[in-house]
Amino acid sequence: MSHYHTIVYANEKGGTGKSTTAVHTAVALAAAGHRVAALDLDHRQRTITRYLENRAAYMRRHGNDLPQPAFAVLEDQSVEALEAAVASLAAAADILVIDTPGRDDPVARAAILKADTLVTPMNDSFVDLDLIGQVNPDTFKISRPSFYAELIWNSRTQRAKAAGKSVDWVVLRNRLQHIGSHNQQRVGAAMDELARRVGFRVIPGLSERVIYRELFPKGLTLLDLKQIGDAGISHIAARQELREMVAGLGLPGAEAAKAA
């Protein structure tokens, strides 16, 4: 029987950097020597699929051999097809990264039930925080967890009963501003309060940088600085950000990925 670690990226809201962090995590772990597979559940946008297809095309054009996860997109949006795709990819992988669409549907819920590590990327704002917890408008304190937080709680409970182990829920604070603000501090305080009540960890994610959009057409990541001809200080800072994010996830091989 194959033993593999499943990382599921899930958030019902779009525009949170979910697919960007998912593909960078997959490549970072592949660079660390893991056999990584990526499954894209969003058969319409196919962001992670297009990213890795662009990466494969770049290697063909330049004759390079870059760390590359195996990948597939789930065309048949059924739970049965999800089970088959997971079994197929996991047969030759020790880490499986699943990128869910920015919506709630039966396939996304079934994927969440497979998570060993569940990652919810969020923009650093009360708009995104509302997904997992409602905030008092006067005190900015959490009044109650949201429906999504309750959904994840129930999914983690089911997973724990079925697999006999707990699920590590990680919330990524993406697009953090480099200069702190009142709003950022309030969001951080509310998120920390909710983390204690609901049971997730909070780690810094990736900042808002143009470089992520520029790398997409070539399928390159910030770990491929040798392939980026005009890499500067901002690229190096962003790469360090990525390394710290992957290490913060606490995944198998995270320290090796940090040094890759």
Query: For 209-221, what is the mean pLDDT?
Result: 86
- What are the residue ranges spanned by the domains of the chain? 5-254
Residues contacting residue 87 through CB under 8 Å, at least 6 positions apart: none
How high is the pLDDT of residue 253?
A: 53
CATH fold for domain 5-254: Rossmann fold (3.40.50)
Name the more confident of 210 and 55: 55
Of 127, 136, 149, which Cα lies nearest the Cα of 198?
149
In 10 A of CB 168, how many CB atoms? Answer: 18
Of 20, 44, 10, which Cα lies nearest the Cα of 220?
20
The rounded percent of the chain whose pLDDT value lies above 90 is 36
Report the C-alpha gap between 164 and 161 in whole angstroms: 5
Query: For 82-94, what is the mean pLDDT?
Result: 94
Tens of pLDDT, residues 33-50: 899 999 999 988 899 999
Name the more confident of 92 and 132: 92
Contact 86, 96 (CB under 8 A): yes
Using 50, 70 and 90 to split pLDDT, how confident is the model at 62? very high
Q: Is the per-residue pLDDT at 217 higher than 90?
A: yes
Contact 103, 96 (CB under 8 A): no
How high is the pLDDT of residue 118?
A: 93
Q: Is the per-residue pLDDT at 29 higher than 60?
A: yes
Q: Is the per-residue pLDDT at 260 higher than 80?
A: no
Give me the chain's average pLDDT, please: 85
Q: Is the per-residue pLDDT at 180 higher than 50?
A: yes
Name the more confident of 104 and 177: 104
Using 50, 70 and 90 to split pLDDT, how confident is the model at 1? very low
How high is the pLDDT of residue 2?
A: 54
How high is the pLDDT of residue 259?
A: 47
Stated pTM of the model: 0.86
What DSSP assignment string belongs to 127-175? HHHTTTEEE-TTT--EEEE-HHHHHHHHHHHHHHHHHSS--EEEEEEES
Query: For 203-222, what is the mean pLDDT?
Result: 85
Q: Is the per-residue pLDDT at 66 higher than 90?
A: yes
Q: Is the per-residue pLDDT at 157 higher than 60?
A: yes
How high is the pLDDT of residue 98?
A: 97
Query: For 240-256, what is the mean pLDDT?
Result: 77
Give the pairing of strands 133-135 and 142-145.
antiparallel
Residues contacting residue 229 through CB under 8 Å, at least 6 positions apart: none
Report the C-alpha gap between 88 and 76 in whole angstroms: 15
